[in-house]
Structure 1
């Protein structure tokens, strides 16, 4: 668990993918990225898809929704290396919560590996009592994907939750201390989430910093629709967050749930590893 003031932050069990390492590190040569992140004999790297639960005095909030359950075909499970899917019911039960207790969901973007968990295998809303926030650009892209993005924006991930969705343009304060800011880059509507309470701060940079191994601003994925926007946003935001001692929270990193970096060396100075958490 990570505490940001009075906010408690936990990862939930949202499934896993094994994506092509070359695609996840773009133009970076394998001899470089393979030193920083594990891979298998198929050149795939493990990427958990673990939603982030934030509990406050008044709200139960999720950041992103996991890979879902029963949403992938056999071919998709094979191609995406999905060896297990979401088990949010069991994860939430550890905190005496159910999916009906989630009242806010913050979607950094709506790619399938973040959004499948929003609906059931037959397309019904999983989080019936939640308001779902995403950027207006992302919502538009989701409902009218282009020839490139239609492979990751799926109708079944939004069709029956439209009445729950609230969109924003540039930046929105969800509750005091939690804001979403549009960055673009990985997708046209991609956003980051900032969390601040008391003297502590954290950020979820989502897929412009999918793992700590992507710390170099130039190391962006081949899945990024607008890579220069990712590079510019990552370079700008990393300077701000590291200088101001933010915790970085990860959805995909198989090693780290959260960490803080030294302002000079950018090496890890505090960490919460996945292996140390009983919630995962």
Structure 2
């Protein structure tokens, strides 16, 4: 598993599975000759998107998880085929390598609750769906939580009751922003979904690093105008990316198959990069 230590914190990417989604949908109106220069695509026009939860340690003595993975045993054969799922989650094994179990997770931060982020929150046990991280407080925005429970005609394809009913008593919501523990701030942005949020982490009490969720799912989405066809509110995504993407600042990713973290300069050129290991 990949680890990245910066200041007083350590990020560990767990084995949460992998999807392969249509490249055109992932880059919206951006022409393929442009985006394929920045991110590899296969013969089916799919790009590899990891779904790897990030274990954050070093703040308040808590074991904090950002996102939850694609889950295991939750998808039908048709869903696995449609979403290009070639690996499902192996979170238990990943945590064992860190000397932890799912019971040791104190906080789960969810930028949003689309299936590829939220399926790992629950699992089947003896024909019953139960919470995976039974002792954790799970944070997501109030807007996201309400739409998850009452999806509209568009969002019902990604907001599944299997991913919220078993965890309902563990969830804590917020309106504009919240600090689950000192050093972490979740801020509601909208854009990708109406309730989407970003995560700001303060390192050593001063430096800020960011997880922008699916506003910037990979390093190739650094351009504020490169937004997803999956975004419910693309203009909001653009405005929020303009606000949150800053030079000489670290950004890390849940979906990226190439880099764990990247820092750009004011012209969009790489200053520093943390590559993803070829094999987990």
In 2: Cα distance, 1:250 partner to 1:38 partner: 17
Q: Name stretches of at least 5 consecutive residues in structure 1 with no aligned partner.
A: none
Partner of 1:148: 154
Q: Are 1:128 and 2:134 an aligned pair?
A: yes
- Give how far 1:10 is off: 1.1
C-alpha RMSD over aligned residues: 1.2
Partner of 2:61: 58
In 2: Cα distance, 1:8 partner to 1:140 partner: 32
Partner of 1:100: 103
Partner of 2:171: 165
Q: Which runs of 4+ in 1 moved over 6 A?
A: none
- Give how far 1:45 is off: 0.4
Partner of 2:17: 15
TM-score, structure 2 normalization: 0.95
Match of 1:78 among 72, 81, 86: 81
In 2: Cα distance, 1:78 partner to 1:195 partner: 36
Partner of 1:196: 202
Partner of 2:230: 223
Partner of 1:259: 262
TM-score, structure 1 normalization: 0.95
Match of 2:184 among 145, 155, 178: 178
In 2: Cα distance, 1:53 partner to 1:226 partner: 29
1:124 match: secondary structure:
strand
Q: Name stretches of at least 5 consecutive residues in structure 2 with no aligned partner.
A: none
1:161 match: secondary structure:
helix
In 1: Cα distance, 2:5 partner to 2:183 partner: 13
- Give how far 1:236 is off: 1.1
When the two structures are aligned, how many residues end up with a matched partner? 273
- Give how far 1:4 is off: 3.3
In 2: Cα distance, 1:130 partner to 1:95 partner: 17
Q: Any conservation in 2 of the 1:49–1:67 contact (CA below 8 Å)?
A: yes
